[in-house]
A and B are shown apart, each in its own frame.
Chain A
Amino acid sequence: KNEVEQSPQNLTAQEGEFITINCSYSVGISALHWLQQHPGGGIVSLFMLSSGKKKHGRLIATINIQEKHSSLHITASHPRDSAVYICATENTGNQFYFGTGTSLTVIP
Chain B
Amino acid sequence: KAGVTQTPRYLIKTRGQQVTLSCSPISGHRSVSWYQQTPGQGLQFLFEYFSETQRNKGNFPGRFSGRQFSNSRSEMNVSTLELGDSALYLCASSLAWDYGYTFGSGTRLTVV
In the assembled complex, A48 has its CB within 8 A of some CB on chain B: yes
Contact A41 B105 (CB under 8 A): yes
CA distance A88 to B90 in the complex (A): 14
Contact A88 B100 (CB under 8 A): no
Q: How large is the interface on B (under 10, 10 to 19, 20 to 34, 35 or more residues)?
A: 20 to 34
Residues of A within 8 A of B74 (CB): none
Number of interface residues of A (CB under 8 A): 24
In the assembled complex, B64 has its CB within 8 A of some CB on chain A: no
Return B64 CB to nearest CB of chain A, in Å: 15
Q: Which residue of A lies closest to B107 (CB)?
A: A41
Which chain A residues in 89-107 approach chain B with CB under 8 Å? 90, 93-101
Contact B97 A97 (CB under 8 A): no
Contact A98 B97 (CB under 8 A): no
Residues of B within 8 A of A98 (CB): 42-45
Q: Which residue of A lies closest to B9 (CB)?
A: A41
Interface string of A23-65 (1 = CB under 8 A from B): 0000000110101000001111101101000000000000000
Residues of B within 8 A of A35 (CB): 103
Chain B residues with CB under 8 Å of chain A are: 31, 33, 35, 37, 42-45, 48, 50, 55-56, 58, 88, 90, 92, 97-103, 105-106, 108
Q: A45-B92, A48-B100 known; 16 other A-B pairs, CB under 8 Å?
A: A30-B97, A31-B97, A31-B98, A41-B88, A86-B43, A88-B43, A93-B56, A94-B33, A94-B55, A94-B56, A94-B97, A95-B45, A96-B43, A98-B42, A98-B44, A101-B43
